[in-house]
Amino acid sequence: MSLGEMRIAVQFCPKVYIGEKGHLIQTCCGYKRRAKNRVHEWISGGLNDILVPIETFHLQNMFQDVIKHQKRFDFDRVPAVVELCWLAGANPYDEDMCSSNWNLENVSAAIEGAESLSSHELITGVQKLLLVYSAKVCKYCSEVHVGPSGHKARLCGVFKYESWRGAHFWEKAEVDDLVPPKLVWKRRPQDPLVLMDAHRDFYGHALAVVDLCTQAGIIAPTKYHCMMKVQGLSGPAQLKV
């Protein structure tokens, strides 16, 4: 299974499904005044639909002055995980660290040739870095800042009309804030080719990147088996009379 075979309901909601054909489970959250719980309208997806990029301001060094609201356009926005790696000493001029150089075919080939789930290694690596280096997340929105203190750019949309004019309320960031989990319906060998809405309670879930890796032939760690309902039924049991 390659990234080019993934489908995503990007037209009307952010749901993702890994497979040649989209499922028929009615979970589309709709768009504006469209009816809710509709069948998805699938189109081809990409890497950013699996690994959602969370961006942050790029700091020249850990001890520079706090970013002021008026100076926010003087700083580049980079993926938060990349900024965390730079803070830990990675080479900021390494082309492999630049998201603009990511190639879907190269990523797909790397997944197919991997011996372990890269998502697990990524999450484990971010966990270790967060034990040493500070990262903040806004309590009321998804804004992330990598560094000892949050910036002062007033970008929080939740309170933009209040007296503090969109100032963020910073708290300690966790792994999920930098690498948001993306859950998808997991099609198992015992399931039909197209998942049906009537049997949705029998189907399992998986992280999108885990599902992609397993379809490339990689064995998922046992901690995901319960979520995936590996040994579960694909529908109601048929009783023989």
pLDDT at 41: 84
Q: What is the pLDDT of residues 126-146, one digit of tens each?
A: 888 999 888 999 988 889 999
Write the CB contacts of 25 (distance below 8 Å, at least 6 apart in sequence). 39, 40, 185, 195, 196, 197, 200, 203
The 8-class DSSP code of residue 50 comes to: H
Residue 8 pLDDT class (50, 70, 90 cuts): low
Q: Average the pLDDT over each of 52-56, 172-176, 195-199, 236-240 and give the range with the smallest value.
A: 236-240
Residue 50 pLDDT class (50, 70, 90 cuts): confident
54 phi/psi in degrees, rounded to 5: -105, 115
Sheet holding 170-172, edge to edge: 144-146, 135-138, 170-172
Tokens representing 217 are 């032939």
Residue 111 pLDDT class (50, 70, 90 cuts): very low
The 8-class DSSP code of residue 95 comes to: G
pLDDT at 190: 92
Q: Average the pLDDT over each of 171-175, 190-194, 232-236 and give the range with the smallest value.
A: 232-236
CA dihedral 177, 179, 181, 186 (to 10 degrees): 180
Q: What are the distances in angstroms from CA 37 to CA 21, 31, 43? A: 19, 11, 18
Residue 187 pLDDT class (50, 70, 90 cuts): very high
